[in-house]
Every structure is written in C-alpha cells, then in structure tokens.
Amino acid sequence: MNSSNLTKNKIKEYLKKGKRFDNRKPLDYRDLEVETGISKNAEGSARIKLGKTEVVVGVKLDAGEPYPDSQDEGVMITTAELTPLSSDRFEYGPPRIEAIELARLVDRGIRESGFIDWKKLCIKKGEKVWIIFLDIYTVNDAGNLLDAACLGALAALLTAKMPKYDEKLERVKYGEFTSKGLPLTNIVPLTFTFHKLGENLLLDPIREEEDSSESRITIALSKDKDIRINALQKGNEKALSKKEVFKIIEEAFKKFKESEKVIGKLKK
C-alpha cells in the first residue's frame, strides 16, 4: 500500500528543508524505550518501543542435534510474525515475504557479528548443543519494524538466562533458570535502515515515509577492533548509485559510533 502522491510530495518538500512531519532531522531516530523480562516463562524477553512502533521478542532455549557442518556449535532459529494486531496490512496465515525478510536480516546481523560464542553452546560434540529460538512479534507497525526488531532481539539475548540442564536425562528443566547468561562476547551488532526519497536520505521512517520510499538499504554493523559490515540488504524498486551506497555506509558508520547510549539501554 503506497502513500498518496499528495503525502509523498509533502514529505519531499519537508525533507528539502531538512525537516520531517515529527520535527526530527533526516538522520535522527525516534525516542527509544526498552523493557526486558516481560515474560516469566521465556529465557529472555524484551519489548521495544521506537516512537509508536512496538515489537516484542522472546528467547527460548532447548537442547538438540547440531548442524552437520558445525558439530561443536550451537544453533539459532529466528522467526518473525507480523500480526494483524499491529497493522491492518497483515493477515494470519503462513509467513509473508516481509516476515521472512525481517527474520533473516535480524538473524544474519547477529549470526555473522561474533556476538554469540557458538562453540560455548556445545553440550556434547556431534550429539547435543543448545538451540536458541528467537521469536519476533509485531505489536504496532508505525514504521521501521526492521531496526526495532533488531533492537528487541539484542535486548532479549543480552538479558537471557540459561535454563537448568539434567545431564543424566539429557533434557532441559523448563521453568528452572541458572544465574548464567548466554555466552556473549563484547561485540554488539546494530542494524541501520536507510530510505531514499528524492535526493534525500532518512533513518527510522514513520509509516507514511516508509510507504513513500523509493529505495531502502539495511546495514548490519558490529565492532571488534574496527567497525565492520555483517549484512547488507537492498529493498524497494529504485536503484542506487555507487556514490549513494558509499554515502549510506559512511552515515551508518557515524551512527554506530554514536550508539553507546542505545547499547547501554539494551543491557539493562
């Protein structure tokens, strides 16, 4: 569903003046609220509010077989459900392409960053490893579900507690938690989604801006010694020039360097 031409033209007029409907600058984010531990049954959980966009993320852990090509490493399975509660655009049923894309981008950004020490999730090589189930649910779609979902996933993983494991019976004691968190490193990944409208770039769009977008790039970044790109996904129909892509990457790096306060919120 696209915005009317009137709305699209009005957004472009505002952006030419460096303004947006909610008085933010083009590369400013909306206010972020983070609440963790919202589910007593999940190993980790978080509610993210990015402006009026709201996402809930849950983490569950189970023990199972490793993948054949990584027999001493844990597994992560990420799913996303775009609920009708969050938007009249979404319907119940099999996952739509938007839900699959959202889950894959969140998964790839985390998996490729080095954020999780996968080998420490091995219980018995070749036989049993910890499996992380990362489930994303949209509560209100007011734009930029991608970045909100990434923040929710990080908050849930950062605050998750390992469940107890019965080594004799080789099964998880559900409902019983240890004091140990997941085996995480100091590398925290963040995702930044840029949209192009006319000659303008903007971050964290509201729904009307997102509908008016001509092109979209999502960049997943993390930092060890240096900032690096873990994933990059192009969306929408209009092409971007090489110069525009490098400009977006440059702006993403700048935003990542400003993100210490955001990371602090996610860890609480």
**Per-residue pLDDT reduced to its tens digit, 98-153:** 999 999 999 999 999 999 999 999 999 999 999 999 999 999 999 999 999 999 99
200-234 residues labelled b (16+ CB within 10 A) or e (exposed): ebbbbbbbbbbbbbebbbbbbbbbeeeebebbbbe
Write down the pLDDT at residue 200.
87
pLDDT in tens, 231-242: 999 988 888 999
Q: How many CA atoms lie within 13 A of 182 on its CB side?
A: 29
pTM score: 0.92
What pLDDT digit, counting tens, does each position of 24-77 carry? 999 999 999 999 999 999 999 999 999 999 999 999 999 999 999 999 999 999
d(CA 160, CA 112): 20
pLDDT tens by residue, 160-216? 999 999 888 888 998 889 999 999 999 999 999 999 988 888 999 999 999 999 999
Is residue 257's pLDDT more than 80? yes
Residue matched to tokens 């420490």 = 120
pLDDT over threshold 70, residue 2: no
Q: What pLDDT does 56 receive?
A: 98
**Start-to-end C-alpha separation, the chain:** 37
- Residue 156: pLDDT band (50, 70, 90) is very high
Q: Which helix (H) or strand (E) holds 244?
A: helix 242-257
> Which residue segment(s) compose the domain that 191 sits in?
5-267
Question: Which pLDDT belongs to residue 3?
Answer: 56
Give pLDDT, residue 6: 79
Tokens of 268: 């609480």
247: pLDDT strictly greater than 60: yes
Q: Count the domains in the chain.
A: 1
Token pair, residue 205, equals 């769009």
For CA atoms 165, 171, 173, 174, give the dihedral sign: positive
| 148, two tokens | 């909100």
Q: What is the rounded distance in angstroms from the CA atom of residue 82 to the CA atom of residue 89?
A: 9
Q: Which residue has the higher pLDDT, 267 or 252?
A: 252
Cα(244)–Cα(239) distance, integer angstroms: 10
Looking at residue 86, what is its pLDDT?
A: 96
Q: What is the CATH number of the domain that holds 48?
A: 3.30.230.70
